[in-house]
Amino acid sequence: DVKVTQSSRYLVKRTGEKVFLECVQDMDHENMFWYRQDPGLGLRLIYFSYDVKMKEKGDIPEGYSVSREKKERFSLILESASTNQTSMYLCASSVGGGFNQPQHFGDGTRLSIL
């Protein structure tokens, strides 16, 4: 079974802090994704990566950056956290081929920015 592990289940940070969310997958998947999930809005794609050191903006990249130095690890960075970034963050991975394959999700990080 594919396992996608997110480093924290719950995180509380202050406005202006730089925040790192980490995600690791163990199935050698080429693609990795970061989403945020808010009630009534569904999952919205922040960034995705189709290879090491490669990244593409999703629908809502403003205020975020990402890093993929190793194939199994994809980090989401909030450069200067703001209260409107309080949300559930979900990481996912899939085999290659763009968005053709189903995505495997981690259990999420619930981030609160105070």
Residues of the shown chain interacting with another protein in the complex, contacts defined by CB under 8 A:
4, 35, 40-45, 48, 50, 56, 58-59, 90, 92, 98-100, 102-108
Q: How far is the CB of 65 from another protein (least distance, A)?
A: 19
Q: How far is the CB of 93 from another protein (least distance, A)?
A: 11
Q: What tokens appear for 64 in the block?
A: 């975020």
CB closer to another protein out of 27 and 82: 27
CB closer to another protein out of 14 and 90: 90
CB closer to another protein out of 16 and 102: 102
Q: How far is the CB of 89 from another protein (least distance, A)?
A: 10
Q: How far is the CB of 49 from another protein (least distance, A)?
A: 11
Put the strands of the sheet holding 73-78 in their side by side order.
4-6, 19-25, 73-78, 64-70
Question: What's the rounded Cα separation, in Å, for the pair 75 and 79?
Answer: 12
